[in-house]
A and B are shown apart, each in its own frame.
Chain A
Amino acid sequence: MDAAVSWPDQLFDTLKRGGIRQVGYVPDAGHARLIERCCADGDIRDVVLTTEEEGVALAAGAWLGGQRAALLMQSSGLGNCVNMLSLPRIMMMPMLMLITMRGEWEEFNPWQVPMGSIVEPVLALCEAEVLRARKPDEVAGLVERAVQRAFGDERIVALILSQELIGKKVWTK
């Protein structure tokens, strides 16, 4: 399997190795494979959300109860999270977010651009450490670092998965 095919599986393997037990998500084409892997895993509780901010609160509850969580979302979902990200900031707890980008590369829907274009400044204002993977062969190393930084340093870490990485054809299927 080449890297272009396997990066979602590398994400899954790293989350699994990192002891992630709850995964919150709003269904997303870019995360489809990862979500599928999480749903199929008996030790990971997959929690489908109505809005991404629920996932931030879910992760806080999980952490209070001694479990590690991850939150999967599309760039638009970050906008739904801003006030709820007060929780990990005020608690100084780990918050791991994997964000697939829209509105930045070969995007056919201009309505994705207003939020997509402010993802990094918004994350910076929320005191998140931001990592970005642009190519398939960067993903494994960066997600490893994201897990280590989030849970080792107990802080907010966002791994951005560039739209270029996800590919154009996903959007036109």
Chain B
Amino acid sequence: MSLDRRAAMATLLADRGDDLLVVPGLGSTCWDLAAAGDNDRNFYLWGAMGGAAMIGLGLALAQPRRRVAVITGDGEMLMGLGSLATIGTQKPANLAVIVFDNGVYGETGMQPTHTCSGTDLVSAARACGIGTCLDVQDEAGLADLAKRLKGLNETLFARVAIDPAEPPRVLPERDGVALKTRFRAAIGAYSSP
């Protein structure tokens, strides 16, 4: 069984609260995040493949009183698999890395990713020392993940089995400076020595 990506994103972000900061991967999860409703506390990625989880880590360490959700795809996660080891070393309590795993590279023509041929992201995350690692296969699992995300209190990794359909693209802002500025303003993040 696998879940609809747009519905899954909407479930995870329902009543998200001002303390939730979201970083998607480039591609489908970015469009899913935009489709769930624009928010100043989203930092959309249009590039930097393999970097989403680490952006989440830097953000989570800088903002320990806010929750950070990285919601990326299996292809993007595979490119930055080492970052799971880095996150497992740091273990910030306010970071969730959620992978929408549809087994394909949706942006480039639906070619299979390594998860299709056996790479198990949940086992990889667990082996990297991340405390809570979930394999979400159905609505009940998704509801449990949404609840855990609300009350996030330890590093969490979740792989969500996603149906490999390609819903229409919903394109968010793509000006990196504008996205950065509105994000920092929204959370009152000003760097001071």
Contact = CB atoms under 8 A, between A and B. Distances in A.
Contacts of A51: 82
Interface in B6-50: 21, 23, 43, 47-50
B85 A50 contact: yes
Contact of B58 (A17, A48, A61, A94): A61
A57 interface: yes
B58 A65 contact: yes
Interface in A27-83: 45, 47-51, 53-69, 83
A62 B184 contact: no
B86 A66 contact: no
A122 interface: no
B61 A66 contact: no
B58 A87 contact: no
A93 B86 CA distance: 23
Interface residues of A, number: 38
A60 B59 CA distance: 8
Contacts of A65: 21, 58-63, 187, 189
B59 A92 contact: no
Given A48-B89, A50-B82, A66-B189, A58 B54 contact: yes
A50 B86 contact: yes
A64 B61 contact: no
A63 B191 contact: yes
Nearest to A55: B54
Interface in B144-193: 176-177, 179-180, 183-184, 187-193
Given A45-B61, A50-B85, 8 more contacts: A22-B61, A47-B57, A62-B58, A62-B62, A66-B191, A84-B51, A87-B176, A92-B180
- The 9 A-B residue pairs whose C-beta atoms are closest, nearest first, are A61-B58, A65-B62, A66-B189, A19-B193, A50-B82, A57-B51, A57-B54, A90-B176, A67-B62
Interface of B: 21, 23, 43, 47-63, 80, 82-83, 85-86, 89-90, 176-177, 179-180, 183-184, 187-193
